[in-house]
Structure formats: structure tokens, C-alpha cells
Amino acid sequence: MSVLVVGTVAFDSIETPSGSAERVLGGSASYFALGASFFAPVRVVGVIGQDFPQDYIDLFTQRNIDIEGIERADGNTFHWRGRYHEDVNLRDTLELHLNVLAGFEPKLPETYRDAEYVFLGNIDPVMQMEVLHQIRRLKLVACDTMDHWIGESREELKKVLQRIEILVINDSEARLLSGYDNIVKAARAILKMGPKMVLIKRGEYGVLQFSDSSMFATPAYPLEEVFDPTGAGDSFAGGFLGQLARSGDQSQGGLRRAIVYGSVVASFTVEDFGVKRLTNVSLKEIEDRYQRFVQLTDFHS
Amino acid sequence: MSVLVVGTVAFDSIETPSGSAERVLGGSASYFALGASFFAPVRVVGVIGQDFPQDYIDLFTQRNIDIEGIERADGNTFHWRGRYHEDVNLRDTLELHLNVLAGFEPKLPETYRDAEYVFLGNIDPVMQMEVLHQIRRLKLVACDTMDHWIGESREELKKVLQRIEILVINDSEARLLSGYDNIVKAARAILKMGPKMVLIKRGEYGVLQFSDSSMFATPAYPLEEVFDPTGAGDSFAGGFLGQLARSGDQSQGGLRRAIVYGSVVASFTVEDFGVKRLTNVSLKEIEDRYQRFVQLTDFHS
């Protein structure tokens, strides 16, 4: 079962306490696609500019990611520049150049329209909705968003929320969207907006999952070094939805195991700059760390 | 198997976003003792002043807590006044009156000297060491401390750390004590100072446990309301050590289950002001929430 993602394909320029990287491959669709590619075939919808190098395209194709849906437009590629604090949970955006992303109208190749597992990465809710309209056989739609769209495009976002099954969002965004400081109250309020499930990402503190009937909490995998947190959330979503597509198991346990797979993928992502670790980690390493995650959290044996 | 605690018995005056309470029963020994009392007999070493009311003493004796080791000295009881921010993870100390705590020299009643499970609550490391010297049959010693002692009494604290099995500490204190921002590195550095195990409390984000041979991570029980976080850490330690004394099980699994019991006790503590919830919760409620905690974290079934 394949997974379709729409989102940004970008240049990222990153400074962290551990070092810096200039114009490396970034964007929500890139991290999601690489993270999901260990579990299932992936198709990407996005836009790049004339300056996007073949080397970066090769990073997708080497992992058998279908890039037919990536449009090359006139102009330059979306470029984000950010700096992380000593506390890497905090970051500042220093530059943001939308470039070809401004006015992007996603068009799905015919072969993409039977997608069953869909991830609407963090882009304009209007673009997210355009993608949904073009898909014939929706089975499971997950969606991300960010403070900018919650503030500036709330009505459009609310329409999207009524069409999706799973909202993947970080804790500060959940507070902003719901108006509640308490994260349990925030999640309950968001469930009333449409999604059947809310996944709340808390960075190094793990993930909370809420539905009407259940609640799941899991820590993050503790790491001795976090080189670059960029893309942790998107690769988490990729591992999560990829594992769901691989297993076909949407039982309560199946969903929870997919959350743990997502956490494991994210733990690799932050071990090196940009997408680097995602391009050299193996499925065996992911499966091994999943087992270590089982041991990390087990208090029954 | 009984548990001995030395620490403060205090008046707390508390302001939180949910309300305020004036001169209620507080202190590390009080929260620990009440938290542990659901699982094992508890003996308290501490000091109170002439102004300490019988009503508060009754709160201990109603839970069968042995208060023979609480000395009543001339002067007033230790009094702390604090205010929590909207983000209840942050608080300011507004007033601190040591009163009878200044110059306190803990003296253990003869019947306390065979204690096997000991908790050195957050007081001057010199007092913590005096208690250790008076005990004949140490089996397991856990210890808490705070930024003040890490900064002002580091050498005395380091001597205590060489005599204990388990350090219970919050994440910012672990960073201060070790000099490492990264929590895994911080824990590894603290293990080299003497303790065989470090428990790192992260408030609403749960607990990390480190030893040379294993690592355990567990989330906190998500709550819709946190009325007053005061005493969460001490009652966590009480539930943890109380459960260890009840079970006698210091296997890896036994230690981890004790951590979960501690988390469950702490989750009740914060549901009301001061020690109030700890004085009306039942063991059955604790056991029920432990089972819900199992369901909350399970991804195997």
C-alpha cells in the first residue's frame, strides 16, 4: 500500500549548537517521504525551482521514492534559514523565501489519484484541500499544520480538519489551535473539530495520542546527541504513516506501534544534519531501535 | 518493611492559576510520608515549631505515619511561600523562613535505627549525612536535593552521593549538578558520582531512570487539571520507595513498576491544593490508576 505526501521540498540553511549546514535538502515532504520510504512506496507532490540540484533528486530516487508529482517551476526553490538555541527545543526563523511555493497549485499525476494513505504536510490549507479533491479512494488522511496557518487561515484549516482522520501537531500548535493551555483539554477540543485522532508531538518528551475512546502516551527515545532537530516531526509522521501502510493494521495496538515506529525514525533524523541520517540509516537499524524502545518502556517483565 | 524519611515539615502558602492556599501542611517529608503511607509503614524525622497545629499532626497519624521522630522545637515552623506561573512548570519563591529548621540536628529515635528503606528528602546535605550515620542496617537509600545545595554545598552533597543507591532529582537540577545540558549525558555523569541509579523527574513529561546497565522512560499520567504541582516530586519518591518496601522487589521490573506507582501517586497529588488529595485518595484509586497507566502506555496488545 503506497503513501502519498504533499508538502514542501526546500533548501534549508541551519545553525545549531553543534554546527551549521547551508542549503541542504529540507521541507516537510522531503522528511516525510524519506521517513516513510523504509516501510512503503512513497509518492511526493511538491514544487521545486530551476536551481534544485540533481544530487537532491537522487536522494529521493535512491530510496525508490516516486517523484513524478514534483513539479519544476520557473524561479528558485523555497528556502528556509533558521537558528536553534542552546535549548534545541527553541528556534528562530532568520529567512523565509517562498519563491516557487507562492501560487503553487498541486496537480496529482493520474497514477497518484488512487492513493489510500495520504499525508497533508505543513503547507497552505487551501493547497491541502486541493490535493484531497483530486484523490479518488481515500482510506486514511493525516495532516500537519503550523502556527502561521492557525493564525492566518483558520477557516480554511477548519475545513481541512473536517475531512481528515488524524491531525499531527506539536504541543504549542495544539494550544494555539484549541485555546487551551492544558494539553488534554486542547486535544479534546481539537477532536471536536473533526479529526478522529490527534497526535501531539512533544519533541524530546515524546508523543501523546488522543481519540474519543483512548489515550496513549510514549516517551521519546533518549539520545546523547541531538545535532539538528529539523524534520523530526515530519519524519515522525513518515514513519507513522509508512508503518500503517506496511502493516495495514489500524487496530488500537497497530496505531500505537506505528507511533513508536515514527518516534524511532525521528530519533535517527536528529542524529545528523538535515536528511543525512535518513539517507544512510538501514531498516535493520530502525527495527533494532524499535526493539530497544520496547525494552526502554517495558515495566511488565 | 518500613520506610524512613528525613526532610522538611512545613507551612506552605501557595498561589497557582487555579487558586491559593495559606499556611497549609507542606514540606518534603510530609509529601513523601503521605505518598509512601499507602504501601508501607512510614517513620518521619523532622522538626516543627510551637505554632504547628494538632490538625496537621492528625493528618499524619490518620494515615498511621509514625511521627515519633518529629521534634517540636522552640520557635516557628519552616514556612515557604511560592507562586506558580500560568505554565505551572515554573514557580517563584516569594518568601522562605527557615525558623526552627536553621540549626536542626536530626536525632533518630532508637526504634528508627534499624530502618532499611531510607529517603533523604531535600534538606542540607550535612543533615542528610547525620541521618545516615545514625542508621544501623541500611538496605536502600534514596536522596533528593535542589539547586541551592548543588550551588552552595556541593562538596557535602558529593559525600552524600557516595553513600546512596538512588538519586531522585529533577531535570534542571541534573543539568546543574552535572554541567551537561543533554539529559542522557547528565545522568551518566551523575552515576559516576556514586549513585547506582538516577531518577530524573520531568514533571508533566514523566520520568527517566538510568543505571549503568539500563535505561527506562515513562510518561506522566495526563491530567485535565493541575491545581497545584507542589509536592509532586516528593510524593513521587514516596510512592516509589513505598512500593519498593511493599514488594521487596528490586529486580529491573520491580524498580520500574515502583517508578510507575510513584508517578501515579504524584498524579493524584497535583489534583488538589497541598496534601489534600493525598489525604482522601484510596489505595484502590491508586491501584485503578496504575492499571489505567498500563493501558495508557501499552503498545503490544
pLDDT digits (tens, 9 = 90+) for B109-147: 999 999 999 999 999 999 999 999 999 877 899 999 999
First to last CA, chain A: 35
pLDDT of B152 over the 90 cut: yes
Residues B226, B267 contacting (CB under 8 angstroms): no
Report the 3 state secondary structure along chain A. Answer: CCEEEECCCEEEEEEECCEEEEEEEECHHHHHHHHHCCCCCEEEEEEECCCCCHHHHHHHHCCCCECCCEEECCCCCCEEEEEECCCCCCEEEEEEECHHHCCCCCCCCHHHCCCCEEEECCCCHHHHHHHHHCCCCCCEEEEECCHHHHHHCHHHHHHHHCCCCEEEEEHHHHHHHHCCCCHHHHHHHHHCCCCCEEEEECHHHCEEEEECCCEEEECCCCCCCCCCCCCHHHHHHHHHHHHHHHHCCCCHHHHHHHHHHHHHHHHHHCCCCCCHHHHHCCHHHHHHHHHHHHHHHCCCC
What is the predicted pLDDT for the residue at B137? 78
The whole-number average pLDDT for the span B2-8 is 97
SS3 B150: helix
Residues 6+ apart with CB under 8 A from B274: B12, B14, B21, B24, B25, B26, B228, B230, B231
Q: What is the ipTM of this complex?
A: 0.94
Average per-residue pLDDT in chain B? 96
Contact A87 B181 (CB under 8 A): yes
Residue range A219-228: average pLDDT?
95
What's the gap between Cα A219 and its chain centre?
Answer: 18
| Res B203: pLDDT | 94
**pLDDT value of position A137:** 78
Cβ neighbors of A243 (< 8 A, separation 6 or more) are A39, A257, A258, A261, A262
Could you tell me what percent of chain A has a pLDDT over 70?
100
Mean pLDDT calculated for residue range A147-155: 95
B-chain residues near A226 (CB < 8 A): 182
pLDDT tens figures, A153-166: 999 999 999 999 99
A18 pLDDT exceeds 90? Answer: no
Percent of chain B with pLDDT over 70: 100
- Cβ distance A299 to B226 less than 8 Å, yes or no, reads no
Name A48's bridge partners: A72
Query: Percent of chain A having pLDDT more than 90?
Result: 94
The pLDDT value recorded for residue A1 is 84
Tell which of A240, A251, A298, A299 to mutate to test the B interface (max B CBs under 10 Å): A299
Mean pLDDT of the residues in chain A? 96
- The DSSP bridge partners found for residue A166 are A142, A197
pLDDT band at A94 (very low <50, low <70, confident <90, very high): very high
- Closest CA–CA distance from residue B292 to any residue of chain A (Å): 10
Q: Regarding beta strands B117-120 and B91-97, do their DSSP bridges make them parallel or antiparallel, or are they unpaired?
A: unpaired
Walk across the sheet containing A19-26 and list its strands: A19-26, A10-16, A79-84, A91-97
Closest-approach residue (CA) in chain A for B214: A296
Residue pair B235/B278 in contact by the 8 Å Cβ criterion = yes
Residues B246-263: pLDDT tens digits? 999 999 999 999 999 999
Is it the case that residue A90 has pLDDT exceeding 90? Answer: no
What pLDDT was estimated at residue A37?
98
- Between residues A47 and B116, the one the model is more confident about: A47
Query: What length does chain A have?
Result: 301
Chain B: closest CA distance from residue A301 (Å) = 6
pLDDT surpasses 90 at B103: no
Q: Average pLDDT in the A220-243 region?
A: 96
- The predicted model gives A273-283 an average pLDDT of 97
**Residue A211 pLDDT more than 90?**
yes
Kindly report, residue by residue over B181-199, the tens digit of the pLDDT.
999 999 999 999 999 999 9
Q: How far apart are CA B225 and CA B223, in angstroms?
A: 5
Chain A closest-CA separation from residue B60 CA (Å) = 31
- Specify the pTM: 0.96
Q: How many CB pairs under 8 A join A and B?
A: 92
Give the per-residue pLDDT at A294: 98
pLDDT recorded at residue B301:
86
Out of B185, B206, B218, name the one closest to residue A224 (CB): B185
The secondary structure element, H or E, covering residue B278 is helix B276-280
Mean pLDDT of the B20-45 span: 97
Q: What pLDDT shows up at residue A141?
A: 97
What residues have CB less than 8 Å from A238, skipping those under 6 apart?
A: A3, A5, A31, A32, A33, A34, A35, A36, A37, A42, A119, A262, A265
Task: Locate A92 and state its grid cell.
Answer: 528562530
> Are A299 and B183 within 8 A, CB to CB?
no
Residues contacting A248, CB < 8 A, separation 6+: A1
Q: Give the pLDDT confidence score for residue B12 in this predicted structure.
A: 97
From chain B, the residues in CB contact with A181 under 8 A are 86-87
Partners of residue B226 in chain A, C-beta under 8 Å: 182
Band (B90; pLDDT cuts 50, 70, 90): confident
d(CA B287, CA A266): 34
For residue A255, the chain B residue with the least C-alpha distance is: B299
